[in-house]
Every structure is written in C-alpha cells, then in structure tokens.
Amino acid sequence: MAVDLAAILPLPAMFAVNPWAVFGPLAGEAPLVRVARTMLGAAVVAVAEPLVDAVRETLATHGLSVVGVAVAENPGSRAQCLAAGLEYLQYPPRHVLIHDIRRPLAPTGVGDRVIAALRAGSPIAMPVLPVTDSVKAVDARGSVTGTLD
C-alpha cells in the first residue's frame, strides 16, 4: 500500500556544530518544533547520531513524540539522512517533501502549493523565493559587465 505523501526533515551532522539552528528559539519556538508541527501524516526527522538524543527529547517535550525519528549512518551527511528517512517509511510514498530546517518560518501556503503541483501531475516541485536584489553579470576578473533583468 503506497502512501501518497511523506515528509522528511533531514538534520545532518553539520548541525551538531551549530545546534542553535535546530534547537534555539526563533519567534518563541525551536525551529525543530515549528517544522515538526507542520509535518502531517507520514513524517520523519532523519537525524545524524550526534543530535538524536536532543531531537527525541525536544520532540517529546513538545508533545511531538508521534513524529518518527530515523538515525542516519555516520558521518551523517544530508544524503545519508535522506536515505535513512526514506528507509524508515513503511511504504514507499508517491511523493516526498523535504523540509529545510533553515526555513522554519516558511508560510504553510508554500507547502500547500508544492503539494498541489505534485498532485496535479508535476514530477517535481520546488519552492523558490523571488529575487529582491539586482543580478549582475561579471567577467573572469569579477568586473561587472551588465545587469540582468
């Protein structure tokens, strides 16, 4: 029985060096908690070994122990976290949403639009942010040769 949609939040070992990005308060709540609350259905936090205890404790403290936790093989790269997350899921999903812990304040509408695009038949959907600065073309020396529109 295939699941239509699953969500994976990869937390590679690089976040062990800067755990604030995962556990520090942002708008009154840890990014891990904020993102985990938005991951409904088949969802898993795929985490590198150095972070696993803190992740489980944080999820449990905030009533989110229902969110699955998969432990990635060492050294716990992003790719290894994603592989662990996919392996954790009981049934292969038709679509997988990969959330970025560095974007904990992404509006729910962003995810809704990605899901709608996937369900409408797109093989892949990726949210992007609009460019708010000018984009310059440069030569081999780094000198600006033009502005792109």
* pLDDT tens readout for residues 9-59: 999 999 999 999 999 999 999 999 999 998 867 889 999 999 999 999 999
Per-residue pLDDT, 40 = 67
Superfamily name and number for 3-106: Spore Coat Polysaccharide Biosynthesis Protein SpsA; Chain A (3.90.550.10)
CB contact set of 60 (below 8 Å; sequence gap of 6+): none
Least confident of 52-66, 71-85, 90-104: 90-104
Decide: 13 and 48 in contact? Cβ < 8 Å: yes
Decide: 18 and 51 in contact? Cβ < 8 Å: no
CA 6/CA 92 separation, integer angstroms:
9
Q: Rounded to whole angstroms, what are the CA distances from 104 to 28, 31, 145?
A: 12, 5, 37
Mean pLDDT of 65-81: 96
Mean pLDDT of 80-88: 96
Q: What is the pTM of this model?
A: 0.83
* pLDDT tens readout for residues 100-145: 999 999 888 888 899 899 989 998 888 887 888 899 999 999 999 9
